[in-house]
Amino acid sequence: QKEVEQNSGPLSVPEGAIASLNCTYSDRGSQSFFWYRQYSGKSPELIMSIYSNGDKEDGRFTAQLNKASQYVSLLIRDSQPSDSATYLCAVNRGGGFKTIFGAGTRLFVKA
C-alpha cells in the first residue's frame, strides 16, 4: 500500500464546474496536509495547507480533511482552463519527518 494514494486521472471537467480531487494516506500520525499544483514542465507550487479536521477555504479552493478516515480532498470551484495541471497531495507527520508526496492527479478543464 502506498503511503499517499491519489487517482492518477486524468480527471476531466468542463469550465465552470467543480473539480474534486481526492487523496488517502496510511500514516495515522500525520499532522500536516498539503496540496501542490504542478504545471507541465514546471516545479510544484503550494496552493493549500490544512492541519485540522474540516474545511479550509481560500478563494476558489477548498481543502477538506478527515483524519478519522485518513482522507484529504481539494475542491476547485468555477474551474478554469488555467487550472489544468497535476495536483499533488502531500502529507507530513511533523517532528522533522519528511513530507510524503502522492503521484498526483492530472486535471483537465475543458473550455
Partner 1 sequence: GAVVSQHPSWVICKSGTSVKIECRSLDFQATTMFWYRQFPKQSLMLMATSNEGSKATYEQGVEKDKFLINHASLTLSTLTVTSAHPEDSSFYICSARLRSGGSYNEQFFGPGTRLTVL
Residues that bind partner 1 (CB under 8 A): 31-32, 34, 36, 41-46, 49, 51, 88, 90, 92, 94-99, 101-104
CB of 18 to partner 1, least distance (A): 26
Query: Toward partner 1, which CB reaches closer, 55 or 78?
Result: 55
**What's the CA gap between 45 and 72, in Å, rounded?**
18
Positive/negative CA dihedral, 57, 22, 15, 107: positive
Taking the complex as a whole, the smallest distance from the CB of residue 13 to partner 1 amounts, in Å, to 21
User: 48 vs 109, which CB is nearer to partner 1?
Assistant: 48
- Smallest gap from Cβ 7 to partner 1, in A, equals 14
Residue type (1 letter), 27: D
**Closest to partner 1 by CB, 17 or 27:** 27
The CA distance from 50 to 63, in Å, is 7
Give CA–CA dist 104/43, Å, rounded. 13
Smaller CB distance to partner 1: residue 8 or 80?
8
- Shortest distance in whole angstroms from residue 100 CB to partner 1: 9
Backbone angles phi, psi at 59, to 5 degrees: 65, -125
What is the rounded distance in angstroms from the CA atom of residue 94 to the CA atom of residue 82?
A: 32
